Structure 1
C-alpha cells in the first residue's frame, strides 16, 4: 500500500499561486520602472534639443547621459541587452553616448 501526500503539501496549490502572483507583481513593477525611465530620457533629450546650444549645454548633456544610463540599466534588468534600436528610436545624440563611454 502506498500513501500519497495531499496536494496542498506539494509543489502545487496555494504556495505556487502565491509565488506566481509575486512574480507577476515583480514583472509589472519592472515594466513600470522601465516606462518611467523612458519618460525621463524623453524629457531630458527634449530639453537638450531645445536649450542645448547655450551655456547650459554641459549640464543638459550630463542630465541626458544620466537618464540614458539609468534607462539602459533598467532595460538590462528586464533582460533586454541590445540598445541599438532604442538609440535610433530616441535619436540619442552622439555627445550623450560618448559620455556613457560609447565610441
Structure 2
C-alpha cells in the first residue's frame, strides 16, 4: 500500500514541513514511551527491593525482568545500544539480569 500526501500539501516545502512535523511527533512518542518504560523499571525494582525476600521473590523477579527487558528494547528502538550506564543507574540486580540472559 502506498501513501500519498493530501492535495493541500502540493508545494514541496509544505510536504517537507508536514513530514518534519510527523517525524517530530514520532520522536516525541518514542521519548514518552521510553520514559514510561523507565518508570515501570523503577516501580518493579522498588517492589523487588521492598518485598524481594520470601515467597513472592520469583514473581517479583519475573516482573522486574520483564520491565527491564521492555526498557532495553525501547532504548534500542531509540538508537541507544549500550545499557551499562542504565544498569548502574537503576542498580539492576544481577538476579534480574541473569533472567535476561546476561552474565
> TM-score normalized by structure 1?
0.89
State the superposition RMSD in angstroms. 6.2
In structure 1, the partner of 2:68 is 68
Q: Which runs of 4+ in 1 moved over 4 A?
A: 1-11
Q: Do the aligned partners of residues 84 and 55 (structure 1) sit closer, same or farther apart at CA in structure 2, a change above 3 Å counting?
A: same
Q: Do the aligned partners of residues 100 and 12 (structure 1) sit closer, same or farther apart at CA in structure 2, a change above 3 Å counting?
A: same
Shift of 1:70: 0.0
SS at match of 2:12: coil
Shift of 1:10: 8.8
Shift of 1:8: 10
SS at match of 1:67: helix
Shift of 1:13: 1.0
Q: Find the aligned partners of 2:49 and 2:58 in 1 and give their Cα distance.
A: 13
SS at match of 2:82: coil
Shift of 1:4: 24
Unmatched 5+ residue regions in structure 2? none
Are the aligned partners of 2:5 and 2:15 in contact in 1 as well (CA < 8 Å)?
no
Q: Do the aligned partners of residues 12 and 99 (structure 1) sit closer, same or farther apart at CA in structure 2, a change above 3 Å counting?
A: same
Q: Find the aligned partners of 2:2 and 2:101 in 1 and give their Cα distance.
A: 64
Unmatched 5+ residue regions in structure 1? none
> TM-score normalized by structure 2?
0.89
Once structures 1 and 2 are overlaid, which stretch shifts more, 11-20 or 22-31? 11-20
